[in-house]
DNA sequence: AGATTTATCTTCTTCAAGGAAGAGAGTAGG
DNA sequence: CCTACTCTCTTCCTTGAAGAAGATAAATCT
């Protein structure tokens, strides 16, 4: 880097990084004809694992009607699958399908680039990075939860 | 899922991190009554700085009509401002407003959390992290550009 | 000066997504 | 066994954003 990595534009650098991540995610979703809520729901499923439509609806802030059709869209596009719950035959479990469809494929180039970047670091440096990823993920999840309940 | 001890699924950890970032961004936008395209446009402006409506429309993949109303929404919400271009009186420059409105305020808790996390690292570790932020930002921007032009 | 091109804005129409209310299926308790 | 409750899915309606075509204003070229 040309300038000192110290304080002056650290915030700006980080914001640029965040913007790029979100921009890429959005462009990926668009490329797959996925709406914003669809992507949101996929992220929820990625984070919290399989859940019922009711819980997914609560997480995404949707009522039951839109939730059903959200799952319909995701199911039809091959991202999730409905499986009957074993304990309660009214319930349905929505789970990400084993072989992810287009989204992962669209995101593959970025993933590979990031993989190459990460491959250039030493094990000690990777420890730092992954320690950060872990902590930051928790922080963002927590903040997102607060926002959800605050609405 | 092959869970190997010692290397506890780095890919999964990273995906969780990405999901959390995007989830939080989305929840923030929702909390501010910002649509997906609006958030996208704000990120574009954050990344590339002030630009004309024409360029913003091209970046967001919108035609001129929706672009005008996109800017209307952002302007009315207090995120951007229209200023006449000095060199061409037909042109308008859309620029983020000096005093950021609700979005930054909503994102403040997460920012603070991340700030606290970063404060716990040594200068050498911070160098690693910011080096990564810089490189990853470029990678994601590049990948997003490819996706945009590929559509 | 007149014609063409560029840039933004306006209007109308279309379409997708979300909210509300209700129906069907299943579980739990008396 | 019968009632009350829960969960999911369906239907209808409304809202909001995007596309298309045209209008206005300004710069550029001949």
User: CA-to-CA distance for B6 and B22, rounded, in angstroms?
Assistant: 27
Q: Which nucleotides of D are covered by protein (CB under 7 A)?
A: 6-12, 16-22, 25-28
The pLDDT, as a whole number, for residue B99 is 65
B22, B113, B146 ranked by CB distance to A43: nearest = B22
Q: Is B78 left (phi over 0), alpha (psi -120 to 50) or beta?
A: left
Q: Which nucleotides of C are covered by protein (CB under 7 A)?
A: 6-12, 16-22, 24-28
The pLDDT, as a whole number, for residue B2 is 43
ipTM of the complex: 0.87
Structure confidence by residue, pLDDT tens digits, A4-46: 555 558 889 999 999 999 999 989 988 888 999 999 999 999 8
Burial class (CB within 10 angstroms; exposed 0-12, middle 13-18, buried 19+) of A126? middle
Identify the three-state secondary structure at position A60. helix
Provide, rounded to the nearest whole percent, the portion of chain A with pLDDT above 90.
72
Using the beta-carbon criterion (under 8 Å), do A137 and B113 form an inter-chain contact? no
Closest residue to D6 measured CA to C1′: A90
pLDDT higher than threshold 60 for residue A54: yes
CA of B68: nearest nucleotide by C1' is: C9
The pLDDT, as a whole number, for residue A104 is 83
Residue B132: how many other CB atoms lie within 10 Å: 22
Provide, rounded to the nearest whole percent, the portion of chain B with pLDDT above 70.
92
Using the beta-carbon criterion (under 8 Å), do A47 and B114 form an inter-chain contact? no
Q: Does B109 touch chain A (CB under 8 A)?
A: yes
Provide, rounded to the nearest whole percent, the portion of chain B with pLDDT above 90.
77
The pLDDT, as a whole number, for residue B20 is 95
User: CA-to-CA distance for B62 and A94, rounded, in angstroms?
Assistant: 34
Task: Classify domain A13-100 at the CATH topology level.
Answer: Arc Repressor Mutant, subunit A (1.10.10)
The mean per-residue pLDDT over the stretch B104-111 comes to 91
The mean per-residue pLDDT over the stretch B44-73 comes to 95
Of the pLDDT bands very low, low, confident and very high (cuts 50, 70, 90), residue A1 is very low
Say whether the CB atom of B63 is under 7 angstroms from strand D: yes
Q: Residues 31 to 50 of A: which have CB under 8 A from any B CB?
A: 31, 35-36, 39-40, 43-44, 46-47
Task: Classify domain B33-100 at the CATH topology level.
Answer: Arc Repressor Mutant, subunit A (1.10.10)
pLDDT higher than threshold 80 for residue B130: yes
Residue ranges covered by each domain of chain B: 33-100
Residue B30: how many other CB atoms lie within 10 Å: 21
pLDDT higher than threshold 50 for residue B3: no
Of the pLDDT bands very low, low, confident and very high (cuts 50, 70, 90), residue B74 is very high
Say whether the CB atom of B138 is under 7 angstroms from strand C: no
Structure confidence by residue, pLDDT tens digits, A70-94: 999 999 999 999 999 999 999 999 9
Structure confidence by residue, pLDDT tens digits, A86-131: 999 999 999 998 766 678 889 999 999 999 999 999 999 999 999 9
The more confidently predicted of residues B65 and A98 is B65
Q: Does A52 touch chain B (CB under 8 A)?
A: no
Q: In sequence order, which residues have a C-beta less than 8 Å from that of residue A115 and are 6 or more positions away?
A: none
Give the burial string for A87-119 (b: 16+ CB within 10 Å, else e): eeeeebbbeeeeeeeebeebbebbbebbeebbe
pLDDT higher than threshold 50 for residue A2: no
Phi, psi dihedrals of residue A105, rounded to the nearest 5°: -65, -40
pLDDT higher than threshold 90 for residue B9: no
Say whether the CB atom of A144 is under 7 angstroms from strand D: no
Q: Does B12 touch chain A (CB under 8 A)?
A: no
Q: Is A7 left (phi over 0), alpha (psi -120 to 50) or beta?
A: alpha
Q: Which of residues 46-75 of B touch strand C (CB under 7 A)?
A: 52-54, 64-65, 67-69, 71
User: CA-to-CA distance for A96 and B15, rounded, in angstroms?
Assistant: 14
The mean per-residue pLDDT over the stretch B42-48 comes to 92
Instruction: Calculate the alpha carbon distances from A22 to A122, B19, B52, B141 in Å.
Output: 27, 10, 22, 10
């Amino acid at each position: 880097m040309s300038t000192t990595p110290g304080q002056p534009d650290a915030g700006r650098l980080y914001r640029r990084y965040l913007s790029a991540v979100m921009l890429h995610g959005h462009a990926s979703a668009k490329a797959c004809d996925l709406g914003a809520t669809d992507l949101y729901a996929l992220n929820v499923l990625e984070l919290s694992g399989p859940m019922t439509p009711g819980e997914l609806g609560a997480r995404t802030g949707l009522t039951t009607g839109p939730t059903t059709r959200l799952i319909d869209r995701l199911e039809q596009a091959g991202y999730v699958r409905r499986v009957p719950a074993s304990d309660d035959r009214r319930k349905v479990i929505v789970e990400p399908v084993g072989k992810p469809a287009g989204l992962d494929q669209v995101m593959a180039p970025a993933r590979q680039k990031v993989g190459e970047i990460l491959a250039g670091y030493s094990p000690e440096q990777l420890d730092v990075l992954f320690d950060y990823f872990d902590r930051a993920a928790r922080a963002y999840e927590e903040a997102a939860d607060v926002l959800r309940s605050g609405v």
